[in-house]
Amino acid sequence: MQSLQLEQLCQKTCTLVESVADFIRGEVGKVGVEKIETKALNSLVSYVDKTAERMLVAGLSELLPGSTFLTEEETVEQSTGEFQWIIDPLDGTTNFLHQLPCFAVSVALRQSEEIVLGIVYEVNRHECFYAWKNGGAWLNGSRIHTAATTSLADSLVATGFPYRDFDTMHRYIETLQFLMKNTRGLRRYGAAAVDLAYVSCGRFDSFFEYGLAAWDVAAGILLVQEAGGRVSDFKGGDDYLFGGRLLATAPGVYEEMLGAVR
């Protein structure tokens, strides 16, 4: 797909995502305990996630007929093709259910194994982060870039606490101890898509987490890359979309952060 076509598709997708964000915002505080399902340990879902996903699938199917889907709630057949949408209809469901203000809609488009479009819409702040391949990264119409930070000591680092996979938690805690002593601080917002969006615009200098799914990070990966940042797995490789372990940083602190998590 050509850059101009991607840009036009991105703009139309942003409009769709914003309408879904409006729906989610209107449901804050309305989900009773009896309407919450537990998919797995500490993994919650409600009708809001599922309805938002169906809205996205319907709209994206019209925007790009014949495209396939990989979605968190599996409200549509999961399949691959030349064009595949990767969707998290509500990243930060636990925050949403507890009325904590950090949750987002995340939509990415993969063409022949390459992410070419990514959108993260932070619902509470009405912030639409978006990017298309070779088109840069944007926030509500303004170009964004990763931070110019060149030292880990000057960095603010985001992470996500383990909530299901505890097998390597001791190593994770050791990494936290090192970063507590060698950075400006650590933050845990509970929505990986937002963390990556904040790296792309320089609010965070780095983000790392393990136990992630593709729909958590697909859109944010492109945002960081198009904003000038670095993305890898914990070994410095490229197994980060489906590998579950992701590091995203401003370019000036990548090597130090990689050393910390490696």
93, 131: one domain: yes
- The residue range of the domain holding 184 is 152-261
122, 89: one domain: yes
Please give the pLDDT value at position 160: 95
182, 87: one domain: no
138, 156: one domain: no
CA angle 216, 130, 80 (to 5 degrees): 50
Model confidence over 98-141: pLDDT tens digits? 999 999 999 999 999 999 999 999 999 999 999 999 999 999 99
Please give the pLDDT value at position 4: 78
CATH of the domain at 58: 3.30.540.10
213, 172: one domain: yes
**DSSP calls for 238-250:** S--SSSSEEEEE-
pLDDT band at 39 (very low <50, low <70, confident <90, very high): confident
28, 72: one domain: yes
Q: Which DSSP state fits 253?
A: G
186 backbone dihedrals φ, ψ, rounded to 5°: -120, 145
pLDDT band at 42 (very low <50, low <70, confident <90, very high): low
Mean pLDDT over all residues of the chain? 95
* Global pTM value: 0.95
119, 42: one domain: yes
Model confidence over 12-38: pLDDT tens digits? 999 999 999 999 999 999 998 888 887
Does the pLDDT of residue 41 top 80, yes or no? no
Question: How far are the Cα atoms of 201, 224, 230 from residue 147, in angstroms, in the given order?
Answer: 7, 11, 11
